Amino acid sequence: MLFGGDILRETSRQIFHAGLGIALIFFLLFFGRLYTIYLLSGALFFGFLLINLTIRGIKIPIVSDALHLFERKSARLPGYGSAWYIVGLLICCLLIPTTNQIAAAILVLALGDAAATIVGAKGKIPLPYNSKKSIEGTTAFFLFSLPSFIFIGWYAIPLALFATLVESLPWSIDDNLTIPIACSLFFYLI
């Protein structure tokens, strides 16, 4: 359960998470899959470099401020969530066959996951099979995944259902990894 400043911090983090995903969709649609893979690979490389410097205690002006503002206090390492987010986006670009399907998966990860966290932080009814997640957050994930309709039409409904189920399960693996894998599997199976 999050309180006061923690909710504000997490909401800011998730708005940034969603905005980054939407910006990447525009980049993907404008520049294509290959350049998006290059961008994400470069971001991952430089991200690991910055994480390494941060772990060594070297303060990097903008990066240190961003980590202070957006990183969860419970993060295992500085930049942990951001690194998994980029890896998840890269998985989508590498495994999903078409640009529209990639855009749909990114939208599910960006909007669905962000909404689940923001709404779920205030949720009151825990899921019967995962007490760390709420019915309210899971419902928000599903509803905010539906705009993927823009890219894949009615396939958005089963995609949203499948991704919602995967997101709600009691994994010990980061959602930024499980959701892209679920979306990739969905598009492989259809």
Q: What is the pLDDT of residue 44?
A: 94
The whole model's pTM is what?
Answer: 0.90
- What token pair was written down for 5? 């400043």
Question: Which class for 152: exposed (0-12), middle (13-18), buried (19 or more C-beta within 10 A)?
Answer: buried
Q: What is the pLDDT of residue 42?
A: 97
Q: pLDDT tens for the chain, 190 residues: list them.
A: 454 557 787 888 899 999 999 999 999 999 999 999 999 999 999 888 887 887 888 887 776 666 666 666 665 666 778 889 999 999 999 999 999 999 999 999 999 999 999 999 899 999 999 999 999 999 999 999 999 999 999 999 999 999 999 999 999 999 999 999 999 999 999 9
- Residue 145's closest CA among 154, 133, 156? 156
Residue 77 phi/psi, 5° resolution?
-140, 160
Q: What is the pLDDT of residue 49?
A: 87
Q: What is the pLDDT of residues 141-156, one digit of tens each?
A: 999 999 999 999 999 9
- What token pair was written down for 160? 């949203």
Q: What is the pLDDT of residue 70?
A: 60
Q: What is the pLDDT of residue 1?
A: 46
